[in-house]
Amino acid sequence: MKLWAAAALMTLPVAVNSEVLLSENEIQQTLSFGPWPPTYQPDPSNRVSSDSRAITLGAALFNYPGLSVDGAFSCASCHDPEQAFTTSEARALGRVPLNRNTPSLRNLAGLRWYGWGGKSDNLWAASLHPIIEEQEMAHSNESLKTAISESSYVADFESIFGNIRNQDPELVLVNTAKSLSAYLETLRTERTQFDSFRDALERGDLLAAATYPEAAQRGLKLFLGRGKCAFCHNGPAFSNNEFHDAGVPYFLSETEVDEGRFGGLNFLFSSAYTLDGEWNDDSAKIGSWAVRSVRRRHSDFGTFRTPSLRGVAETPPYMHDGSLIDLDAVVRHYSELDTERLHADGEAILSELSLSEQEIADLVVFLETLSYVTWP
């Protein structure tokens, strides 16, 4: 059933010929993508979550080159605030070229998993690992303690965490990561044209809803229906935060593969920094069920975390390896999906969509309306 904004035809010239193209069922599905922004609770696993002093310190440390062992780069070098907290390179450049695209850092509060392979179950662990990764910032616990102690931020650090000299180097590492996490929790994408549309539908204001571009509505209908996108890209963040094989090659070379979730789980289970570990500040260990209950399967090989689509138009290139240069290429990837590349025991509903040029354009327009900046 189409719901016509008939009143607009009589009173508002701007809305002439505009209509809400969605069926009742599609409207109900659309409502599930909001409201935006959601409300977040402080992270109980991080005692300085939502602490304004920790947020300020975390923001400063995010831009501090001393977080890398030789002062060569800061977090912001790869997660550039001017580029939606990522960069335009296909793959991240640490001390050496890395294997994956740099993810944006917005809307990270409260997720179940972090990283393309989900090797962390909390944001402070996800903030911690790059500091000590040899190919990234390459600190040891000791060298990081020295760097913080000798930095201009030591007074702020000690006002939150106490005298740094009395802290074990590993505690300094965790405290530094929890400050960074407190800052990262504050990074959100703005409301978008899509949110105005979604909220108008919720209010039953079809006149307002009908101002959402028809091309975007057609794209949304494909997103919900034949495109099958909403099976994985669901909820207010447009992600189920789980792991899937999207048919993107995971061979790094003829002899090397990106293990994806398989490797992420191996890392997770050997990590001291999970919600089930001793560094969790929450005695109830809320959320630790996931690391205890998650299953390991061979089909995890080469699967990657479903990225949020909030702000997606601002963060090209795409996919875990940055191999698709723009949204048009992403939609064409699914339109021409090579099902031979998919796991034999993986997701069975993926198939070549064979979209028309008009349908590809419509889906791109819809995806663009999920960003604060939209293009005509």
Partner 1 sequence: MDSQTPNAPEVYVDVREIPLAQPFSILISVCTEATVHEVRVDAIMPAHQHGLNYLPEVSALDEGMFRVDDLLFHMPGQWKLQADVDFSRRSVSYTSEITLK
Binding site for partner 1 (CB under 8 A): 28-29, 32, 230-232, 234-235, 240-243, 289-290, 293-295, 299, 345-349
State in angstroms the smallest separation of the CB of 31 from partner 1. 11
Identify which of 47, 343, 29, 9 has the alpha carbon closest to the alpha carbon of residue 202.
29
Nearer to partner 1, 82 or 340 (CB): 340
Environment class of 215 (CB within 10 Å of its CB; exposed 0-12, middle 13-18, buried 19+): middle
Nearer to partner 1, 107 or 241 (CB): 241
Give the tokens for residue 309. 């689509």
Q: How far apart are CA 210 and CA 31, in angstroms?
A: 15
Nearer to partner 1, 29 or 122 (CB): 29
State in angstroms the smallest separation of the CB of 348 from partner 1. 4
Helix, strand or coil, per DSSP, at residue 223: helix
Give the tokens for residue 283. 């005695």
H-run or E-run covering 305 = strand 304-305
For residues 57-70, one letter each, b for 16 or more C-beta atoms within 10 angstroms of the residue's C-beta and e for the rest, the string is: bbbbbbebebbbbe
Give the tokens for residue 345. 């025991």
Nearer to partner 1, 16 or 344 (CB): 344
Nearer to partner 1, 39 or 166 (CB): 39
Q: How far apart are CA 188 and CA 199, in angstroms?
A: 19
Q: How far apart are CA 215 and CA 375, in angstroms?
A: 12
Nearer to partner 1, 60 or 290 (CB): 290
State in angstroms the smallest separation of the CB of 243 from partner 1. 8
State in angstroms the smallest separation of the CB of 81 from partner 1. 29
**3-class SS string, 317-342:** CECCCCCECCHHHHHHHHHCCCHHHC
Q: How far apart are CA 323 and CA 248, in angstroms?
A: 8
Nearer to partner 1, 252 or 290 (CB): 290
Nearer to partner 1, 138 or 290 (CB): 290
State in angstroms the smallest separation of the CB of 301 from partner 1. 14
Helix, strand or coil, per DSSP, at residue 267: helix
CB 353 within 8 A of CB 363: no
CB within 8 A of 311, min separation 6: which ones?
84, 104, 106, 107, 189, 370, 371, 372
Which residue do the tokens 């975007």 mark?
216
State in angstroms the smallest separation of the CB of 325 from partner 1. 28
Nearer to partner 1, 85 or 304 (CB): 304
State in angstroms the smallest separation of the CB of 284 from partner 1. 14
State in angstroms the smallest separation of the CB of 294 from partner 1. 6
Nearer to partner 1, 287 or 311 (CB): 287
Q: How far apart are CA 46 and CA 175, in angstroms?
A: 9
State in angstroms the smallest separation of the CB of 74 from partner 1. 33
State in angstroms the smallest separation of the CB of 40 from partner 1. 15
Which residue do the tokens 């447009």 mark?
238
* Chain Cα centroid distance, residue 265: 18
Which residue do the tokens 């209010």 mark?
203
